[in-house]
Structure 1
């Protein structure tokens, strides 16, 4: 075969386990590789498949990885939302995913399926990848082959669900391996609530009687010279350093409180001016009557 050197070694370990090693040529192209066929009866039966390898041959941590696949058949009567008489999930432990997709192709629809082809979308340089199958109720048949065409069937979701407390001693990166903080996220954070412990004073001191409120004419002069509000970072600074949410929230609240003081002061001047206008109107009316 052109793109893959098939079986190098087959080792049986345990009454229900199977392991096999495969080595691919350095084709520089990603391939769909069929690992084999699994005969697994309905009735809530499980199969566990582990693939160990990586995205290259070099001694780099970024090339190491392994993937775990868990498959379970239904009770023999029910199907999932897509009509499959089984379900499966996969977990990927690797920095550079050398397996980008997993497909399971049943030999029949719904709960009539009795055998399933297992396919992986493998990177161009998976090294000496090996995999093992653990299954107490089914029969695994090796059937290694490769193709550039994606098979149909069940696309296995990659997910990791934890139902207990989890404690990390290192940094956690989501969507990135470049972590410079306990949590680094490359993307959008969607939450129903965010609680930030502020390390800066709450700006209610703006309402103290001895607070020195900058005159508006000085604020205008600052804006004309710097093109941003006093104490608020510039566009260039934000682009370079980012934004500290707790600190920025306090600064914005301070500006809102200062704006409130400006409005209170303006309202007082407006009311004083209106009083003067009303008094002048009375005087004018009095003059007209005379």
Structure 2
């Protein structure tokens, strides 16, 4: 009886491992996104944005009953991709650009946890509380939508996503609220390295793509931050800076228009495609 029992247990283990292996799809490329209002999405989506290839999906970050979406589930990546009433973001056309070029066998998933107006300090794992204590009231509601800790909320969602696919990159658009902060690249490095560590990722396999602020030519009020952002690859060798040149902005000098988000998002996408070898 013992040899039969041993064979039975071996079969059970093999089947269990096989089932576990099938659960994670190596052809499901997942990307994390975080930042402030431009990553959150400040432009209203338009009719042309309503249709999306079903190979491009979003992991819902919070419950949105009006959208019939529940936190932690995958849905076709029709905007909004952040919270329930946010707008178009570079992530929209990042994902669309990828699925247009990648083989049909590959799906793309995104997770976007962003808070308008926040400094990078909000995403610092060990010191975010001191920043939250000084945050204005209008920001607190956005922070609370992520259980009071956007960084940890992103990590938790990313761990959920790792059961389904493989994280292949991290997208950042943040810096307006840190304009002039020479320590910003080092702060970003800390957030990036914490994400890699908590998720068991390697920098050489999971690059960081960071977008520029609205350019001076477009009237960007924080365009001076782009000189600091340009030094990011010196601090993070796996970082890539995404140009905002000619990306249309709106009159406030801080945010892109819908057309600007589409162009910037495509640039994020094309950079990622180049990294992937396409």
TM-score with structure 1 length normalisation? 0.23
Using CA pairs under 8 Å that are at least 6 residues apart, name the structure with larger relative contact order, 1 or 2.
2
* Higher alpha-carbon Rg: 1
More strand by share: 1
